[in-house]
Structure 1
Amino acid sequence: MSIDFVVHDADDSVGVVVVEGIQAGQTLTGWVMHQDQTVTFEVLDPIPIGHKLAIRDLAEGDTVIKYGVDIGRVVKPINKGEHLHVHNVKTKRW
């Protein structure tokens, strides 16, 4: 089985893409490292390698968790399988 993205823990809300060329409509397989499980779902956006994707639906104001750490807040709703980046997540630092 080929892994397309990795997630540190099942409580995280995002995974990180680890392959090139992810396009909308593809079915991706992710590895949840801490629980040693795989998850599979359709990605909704093209996502560059190293970028984040939502592994669950996120509402405006939700906290984004990556590697068990708060990395920001959602500024517009994000559906499972969508790209997370500066257009929909902002830091809480300022």
Structure 2
Amino acid sequence: MSRAFRIHPDDNVATLLEDAAAVVTVVGGTDLVLREPIALGHKVALADIAEGAAVVKFGIPIGIASSAIRVGDWVHLHNCASRFDARSGSFDGVTGAAKDMAYD
């Protein structure tokens, strides 16, 4: 079974320690059913996060949910925007590349 790590007790996301497709074990916690496959190093929601609510990692807000996020969802650029970088909401959700710049 794949594993995920919750860094701080106040976090509402955990980081995948390996690719996972169905269920992850949150280290020191419980098993969590994924709503979609999530890759190594990406985040999974540990709780429902309302649109506009803080996404918390390291015990601090790292972004704002740009849409409602359900427990077990992949948390990434498609549903989380930076509070510090207005462009973050326009990054490609798969590659992370800025959509407003051409890469040759």
What TM-score, normalized to structure 2?
Answer: 0.76
- Structure 1 segments unaligned to the other structure (5+ residues): 32-36
1:59 and 1:65 mapped to 2: Cα distance? Answer: 12
- Structure 2 segments unaligned to the other structure (5+ residues): 87-104
Say yes or no: does 1:44 pair with 2:35. Answer: yes
Residue 3 (structure 1) shift: 5.8
* Counterpart for residue 62 of structure 1: 53
Contact 2:54/2:62, CA 8 A, preserved across alignment? yes
Higher strand share: 1
Residue 10 (structure 1) shift: 2.4
* Counterpart for residue 86 of structure 1: 77
* Counterpart for residue 18 of structure 2: 19
Tell me the alpha carbon deviations over residues 32-82 of structure 1, each in whole angstroms, 9 at most, x when there is no partner: xxxxx3221201111010000000001100001101121000010010000
1:53 and 1:41 mapped to 2: Cα distance? Answer: 9
Q: CA RMSD in A?
A: 1.3
Contact 2:49/2:70, CA 8 A, preserved across alignment? yes
Residue 16 (structure 1) shift: 0.2
Residue 9 (structure 1) shift: 2.1
Higher helix share: 2
* Counterpart for residue 34 of structure 1: none
Mark the structure with the bigger radius of gyration.
Answer: 2
